[in-house]
A and B are shown apart, each in its own frame.
Chain A
Amino acid sequence: MADVNRGNRPLSPFMLGKYYRFQLNSVTSILTRITGVALLLGALLVVWWLLAAASGPEYFATVDWIVTSFIGDLIMLGSAWALWYHLLAGLRHLVWDQAKMLDMETADKLSWGVIGGSVVLTLITIIAV
């Protein structure tokens, strides 16, 4: 077989920073993954909170205190932004998958749209709830 270098290849993201300059598109793209993985924390917290509500008033009081504490609020606020960011950035990837809006100028505009849109939607969420 032509593949002689089996199992000894460099692992991503070895290109980042050293060989490949950080740029708007790559940073907003990697943030999609980071927010996606980070959302696990908020999601597990929501599941725990729901389980506590289903278990009874005493257990709910304990978990609700944690979820609505300062740290809990911070995680929920961060998760709200991460959800909006991941949603908008994911939408951008769905558009890109159709081989549309891939030119640099439009891609950069979409990047700023994702960043700005996620902040605006997070502010709307804070005001609305």
Chain B
Amino acid sequence: MAFLTDRKRAVGMGSAKSGTEHAWMMKVSSIALLILIPLFIFNFGATLGGSYEEVVAHYSRPYPAILTALTLAVGFMHFKNGVQITIEDYVGGLNRKLLIIAMICLSYAAAATGIFAIARLAL
């Protein structure tokens, strides 16, 4: 024991054991969303409140379809990773695991549903 350095004793003792990858993915998705979100807000805002025909025509065009699908995919993955850290900080025990699993499932389900809807509207 006495021969172990402080660093050696600390390595791998973190709660997630994959914190670097997690932090890096948050950084990548946040920078992607810095570009996607402003474009999405004005694109979505322009079509919200329109008639059914207007909305279908809007998402039949490549730019709104690709932008919205990308925003939903990157956005929900960003949410999945972000909310996991939040849950890890404020919830303990079994509830922590259950909540994280629920949020991961919800994020994938919502992203898949949104992308399916866009694909059906666009094609």
Chain A contacts to B: CB under 8 angstroms: 2, 11-13, 33, 36-37, 39-40, 43-44, 46-47, 49-51, 53-54, 57, 60-61, 64, 67-68, 76, 80, 83-84, 87, 90-91, 94, 97, 125, 128-129
Asked if A68 meets B49 with Cβ closer than 8 Å, knowing A11-B90, A43-B75, A129-B42, the reply is yes
Residues of chain B from 21 to 63 with CB closer than 8 A to chain A in the complex: 27, 30-31, 33-34, 37-38, 41-42, 44-46, 48-49, 52, 55-56, 59
Chain B contacts to A: CB under 8 angstroms: 9, 27, 30-31, 33-34, 37-38, 41-42, 44-46, 48-49, 52, 55-56, 59, 68, 72, 75-76, 79, 82-83, 86, 89-92, 106, 110, 113-114, 116-118, 120-121
B90 adjacent to A50 (CB under 8 Å): no
Partner of A50, one of B9, B76, B118: B118
B82 adjacent to A36 (CB under 8 Å): yes
Partner of A47, one of B48, B86, B114: B114
A61 adjacent to B52 (CB under 8 Å): yes
Known contacts A64-B55, A125-B42; 12 additional CB pairs below 8 A are: A37-B86, A47-B114, A50-B59, A51-B114, A51-B117, A54-B120, A54-B121, A68-B48, A68-B49, A87-B33, A125-B41, A129-B46
Partner of A36, one of B55, B83, B106: B83
Partner of A94, one of B31, B46, B91, B106: B31
Contacts of A54 in B (CB 8 A): 116-118, 120-121
Centre residue among B37, B38, B72, B117 by max chain A CB count within 10 A: B117
